[in-house]
Structures are given as structure tokens and as C-alpha cells.
Amino acid sequence: MQRINTPDGNFHAGDPSAGVKGTVVTQPFMQAVQEELAAVPESVGIKLDPNDNGQLLKGIQKIVGNAGANYQPVLGYTPVQQGTGALQGQNAVKIGWATDGSGLRVTVDTTDLGVVAFASQLAAYATQEWVEKSAVPRGGGVMIGTLAVPQVQLSQGHADNDGTKPMIYNDPSVRNVVFRTGPSNAYKYTVIDESGVLKLPARPNFAGSTPWDTGNFDPNSKLNTSGGTVGGRLALSKQGWQADFQLRNWREGQDVSTYFRARDGGGLEIINNAYNFVTWSVDDYGTMFMRGQQMLNTDGNLWCAYRGSWMSGILDDLYNRDNGKANAGATCQPYDFAEFGPLRQSTGTTTVDAPDTWFVKGIRTDNWNGDAAPRTLFLRCTRIRNT
């Protein structure tokens, strides 16, 4: 629709005597007026008839008549709108007083939902035996059956302005249990999956202690107590401890141990079963000790406790002795001479012995001219040595 095309949108009669023209009616304006007038009867299904000049009135009457049949009379109060809220359908909800006076009855479409129970009416039922056996009070109670709910929300536990509360639920179509904690901008999910495996969003804490897991513990890099292979240096070390290592013989009938211990100043000690004496040790230089006695030096010299001497001293003595002896096959030379005797012809036995270290080299007699008696013999002896 449009107004006449004058500056103020109004019709003006004009003044011919003063030379003022009246408003000129244009074709677009008249066309608009025609369409507006024809739209009224046509909107209610009245076909335009050039011989009927009352069609505009008939159209208005029909519009008013149709509208009046569906209009709610003035109520004098504010009505409640239904069926247009969130998650609500277009069902017709009818609430009215029951004909038998039993209360306010509700019907949805054609389904009778019965009488509405108000809080004042329910208070009396709360103490009834059938209620106590069939309902759990809001203040707490014991259920004897299964409670099936899609999720459980815990109402407390947030200390900031974030009103998000912890929840317990399971994922759709999955037999799991999900515990959702944390603020809304950083939820943490603890899940027990269908196989019973617990999946944690962070490493747990056991009474203040951090447990080992694959994130901070590699079992393949550790030595098992039942045995294993070490591919690098194994260190036994602790502040204030003289590190030792126990080897236990626990075969049938045996229960004894030997201990390896780090030696003061460097080296290694072997300790007896009673752990009260060092039976063998070697210092950081390589010198060996047995029961506290230095026994073997790095130059190979050995202490011979049974002789009370080092092996080097014993060998020196032997070498010195050998140096004063003739070599095998050497010719010895006499260096002293003496005669021992006499052996006299007599009626008895006569014995003459050469002293030790003397060798007999010959016999000498006195002058045996004739048969004069007594005749005598002398042992001619010498001693020999290598030159």
C-alpha cells in the first residue's frame, strides 16, 4: 500500500483563483488502492464480481465471523501457555476439577493421568508403611533393589565459581563406568572399561608415594631378583656404607656365606662366613694379603710363612750356594794332603780310618827289606774341590 505522492502524503484541493493546483491522482496510486480493496474479499474466497458493489463488506464480515468463532473471550486473568516449552510436544493438555470432586484431574490428548497430588496431601502419606517400604527419603535411606539411572551428579565439592559438579555415568551403548571430575574447562575422566580395566587420567598417589608404571619405570632396564643379564656396570653404593656382596651356599646340608667387600683405600676383600675376619684381600695397587699378612707383591715376590722369608731371599741363598759348587762334569783339584796310619803287622786286628772329607789316594809302607818286623802301612789321603 502507498500514500499519494505529495510532500506530506495528503490530498490537497488547491485554489484555482490563486493559481494553486489540487493533488493529481496518479495511476500507480489508483492501482494500489484497487489491489488493497480487492485483496479483502479474495482473502476469504469471494470471487470479484463487477455487478456486486458489496463484496468489500462481505469480505470483512466473513473475516470477522471466522475469527470470532476461534477467539477466547476475555478471561480476566493471565492464562498459562502449554505445549511450546523445551522438549515439549504439541499434545493437548487439559486440567480441570473432577466431576466427582476428587481433585484436579489432568488429561493429555485422550489419556487420563488421574488426579494431581499436592505437597500438602503427600505429607500425610510420607509416614505410611507402604511409602516407607517403597520409597527412599531425600534425607537418605537404604534401597533393597537396583536403582537404574543414566547418571549421578554429586551436588557438592566445587570451591570456585564454576558450578560444574562431579558425575558418575556410563557412555551410550558401552558397558563402562565413567567418573568425571575437575572444572568444566578441564574435565578429568576416570574410566573402568568393559573389560574391567581401570584407566586413570593421571598417575595415582599411594599415601603420599608415587607408584611405578610404564611412564617412570622400565622393567627391561632393571635386574630381576631371580636372575638376569646386566649389560653395564653394576654399582653397589650408598653414603656411609662399605659396600659388600654376599654369596650364600644353601645347598642341602649347607648354609654358609662368603662376602666380597670394598677395601679401605681401594681394592677388594673376601670375608669369612662369620663376617669377623678378612681372609684374603688385594689393595688398589694389586698387592695380595692373606689373613692380614702381605703375601704376594706385584713383582711376583711371595712371602713363605713356613720359612719366615720372602721367596726372593730363599732363592738368593740357593744361588749363593750353587755358585760355590762345581758344575756337572767339572774336574776337581786336590788342595790338601795327609797320611793316616800306621797299620802294623801284629797278632791282632788294626783299623785306620781317613777322616771325613778325605779321600784315599794311595798306600805307603816302611822299608820291608828282609823279613824284619813289624811291617807298617800308611793311608795317603787328599781333599778335593773345584778350582
Listed in sequence order, the residues at least 6 apart from 318 whose beta carbon sits closer than 8 Å to its beta carbon are: none
Residue 137 lies in a domain: no
Q: Which domain holds residue 62?
A: 21-69
Residue 187 lies in a domain: yes
Strand 293-296 and strand 303-304: pairing?
A: unpaired
**Dist. CA 339–CA 360, nearest whole Å:** 9
My answer on whether 157 and 217 are in the same domain is yes
One DSSP character per residue, 59-77 reads HHHHHHHHHHHHPPPP-SS
Give φ, ψ of 304 to 5 degrees. -100, 95
My answer on whether 199 and 268 are in the same domain is no
Terminal Cα-to-Cα distance of the chain (whole angstroms): 163
Give φ, ψ of 111 to 5 degrees. -95, 120
71 within 8 A of 87, measured Cβ to Cβ: no
**Dist. CA 288–CA 218, nearest whole Å:** 41
Residue 86 lies in a domain: no
Is the previous residue joined to 374 through a cis bond, with omega within 30 degrees of 0?
A: yes
221: left (phi over 0), alpha (psi -120 to 50) or beta: alpha
My answer on whether 348 and 370 are in the same domain is yes
My answer on whether 168 and 185 are in the same domain is yes
- 3-class DSSP assignment, residue 323: helix
Give φ, ψ of 189 to 5 degrees. -115, 120
| Overall domain count for the chain | 4
Question: Which stretch of DSSP H or E encloses residue 57?
Answer: helix 55-70
Place of cell 494431581: 116
**Dist. CA 338–CA 38, nearest whole Å:** 186
What letter does residue 258 receive in the DSSP assignment? Answer: E
My answer on whether 319 and 338 are in the same domain is no
pLDDT at position 373 = 65
My answer on whether 319 and 337 are in the same domain is no
My answer on whether 252 and 300 are in the same domain is yes
How many C-beta atoms lie closer than 10 Å to residue 296's C-beta? 16
My answer on whether 315 and 247 are in the same domain is yes
329-to-188, 324, 357, 386 alpha-carbon distances in Å? 104, 15, 20, 11
Residue 74 lies in a domain: no
Of 298, 323, 348, the residue at which a domain comes to its end is 323
Sign of CA dihedral 325, 330, 335, 339: positive
Residue 132 lies in a domain: no
Residue 126 lies in a domain: no
pLDDT at position 274 = 97
Q: Which parts of the chain sit beneath pLDDT 70?
A: 70-72, 75, 77-80, 126, 130, 157-160, 324, 326, 346-347, 370-374, 387
Of 222, 253, 279, the residue at which a domain comes to its end is 222
What letter does residue 239 receive in the DSSP assignment? Answer: T
My answer on whether 195 and 161 are in the same domain is yes
My answer on whether 336 and 315 are in the same domain is no
Of 323, 345, 373, the residue at which a domain comes to its end is 323
Listed in sequence order, the residues at least 6 apart from 285 whose beta carbon sits closer than 8 Å to its beta carbon are: 267, 298
pLDDT at position 135 = 79
Q: Could you tell me which of 220, 269, 215, 224 has the C-alpha nearest to residue 242?
A: 269
My answer on whether 297 and 351 are in the same domain is no
My answer on whether 258 and 319 are in the same domain is yes
Residue 111 lies in a domain: no
One-letter amino acid at 368 equals W
Residue 90 lies in a domain: no
pLDDT at position 332 = 80
